[in-house]
Amino acid sequence: MKCNYCSKNTLICKGKRGINQRYQCKNCGKYQQDFYSYKLYNSQDDKKIKILNAEGVGIRSMSRILGYSQGTIIRRIQHLASKVIKPIYSANNEVYEVDEMWSFVEKKKPSNYCWITYAINRRTHEVIDVSFGSRSKENLGKVIRSVLSYKPKKIVTDKLNTYPGLIPSELHDTTRYANNRIERSNLTLRTNIKRLSRKTICFSKSKKMLEACVLLYFDYHYWKICTKK
């Protein structure tokens, strides 16, 4: 048997992976196996991962459908999410809606809430910005600042008492039913992203993965025109 990297006959047995023998090359020092249970990742499947993520398929289902290991899928989702660019829109004087949606991280209990705060354009339904974490002034402020940079006509939110300190009162609107579009959008997210479903035991084990999956979803539906992928 020859080394996959330097093609010399210098392999020695070195440990096992499950039932598969593992080898080390004495020439180049690389580890390898003669049989792998999962195939090598092909970057042409990036698009499939994005589609499956946007269709409510979880990590383990993706692993079974595409034939890659769960670790590969997780690493790839994080890599793809790190490439996502939030677009800059040209629209001014529009109405924006801002809302928060809860999800869990690590454990399913109220102290582990992780909130997804995001803003949409009421007319076009485009997502402007998103932040993850508690409902602190810092996290909400990040979204509000990027909405204010578009010179909005009005910002519609719910009656959470953090907003009046962040939004100038002449722009702020907390009328009942005014934020219907973003509340509808919350339901769409819960239907389409596996880890946001309610009344299941499927939820994110880390904040990093929650961020990555939601960013990929927004990229797939709203931002891909801008990133040209």
- Residues 133 and 179: beta-carbon distance below 8 Å: no
Taking the least distance from each CB to Zn ion, the nearer of 28 and 65 is 28
Taking the least distance from each CB to Zn ion, the nearer of 25 and 210 is 25
Q: Does 5 bind Zn ion (CB under 5 A)?
A: yes
Q: Does 31 bind Zn ion (CB under 5 A)?
A: no
Q: What angle do CA 120, 121, 127 make, to 5 degrees?
A: 40
Q: Does 3 bind Zn ion (CB under 5 A)?
A: yes
Nearest-angstrom CA–CA distance, 167 and 135 = 15
Taking the least distance from each CB to Zn ion, the nearer of 27 and 162 is 27
Q: Does 14 bind Zn ion (CB under 5 A)?
A: no
Size of interface with Zn ion, in residues (CB under 5 A): 6
Nearest 10 degrees: Cα torsion 41, 42, 46, 49: -50
Question: Which of the stretches 5-13, 83-91, 131-139, 199-207 binds Zn ion when contact is defined by CB under 5 A?
Answer: 5-13
Question: Which of the stretches 3-11, 37-45, 62-70, 101-109 binds Zn ion when contact is defined by CB under 5 A?
Answer: 3-11
Task: Report CA torsion sign: 195, 198, 185, 64.
Answer: positive
Nearest-angstrom CA–CA distance, 46 and 36 = 21
DSSP SS3 for 207: helix
Q: Which of 14, 28, 34, 67 touches Zn ion by CB under 5 A?
A: 28
Residues lying near Zn ion in the complex (CB under 5 A): 3, 5-6, 25, 27-28
